[in-house]
Amino acid sequence: MLQFWFYYFGSIFSMDKNRLRWAVRRGMLELDLILSPFLENVYDKLSAEEKVLFQNLLECEDQDLFNWFLNKYPPHAEQQRIVKIILANTGLQMGVDGQQ
């Protein structure tokens, strides 16, 4: 299964840390303050699949990310796992709807 991920998402895996540093720089300071430290302190410890999830998350709109991180509404199913990981590693908590 892992070989499939490397083959299918090869271009995503080739995204180096410098490109990711640019990708986490957003139009909102609040997102920069969440995503930049996560990239520097946690990203390298993620599994290959979680890295793909993070890279895919960076393609989402700023307003969606902001709302997910501040619990205004829950993330889409495909982003839920990585949002939980980010929130757990930034000291933020998931929403009051029981999702943790």
Measure the CA–CA gap between 67 and 74, rounded to whole angstroms. 8
- Which of 27, 21, 56, 42 minimizes the C-alpha distance to 85? 42
**Residue 75: inside a domain:** yes
Q: pLDDT (tens digit, 0 to 9) for every residue of the chain, 100 residues total?
A: 455 555 555 555 546 888 999 999 988 999 999 999 999 999 999 999 999 999 999 999 999 999 999 889 999 999 999 999 999 998 766 554 445 4
Q: How many domains does the chain have?
A: 1
CATH number of the domain that residue 39 is part of: 1.10.150.250
**Residue 4: inside a domain:** no
**Residue 66: inside a domain:** yes
26: domain range?
Answer: 17-88
**Residue 2: inside a domain:** no
Q: Which position has the token pair 């520097």?
A: 40
What pTM value is reported for the model?
0.75
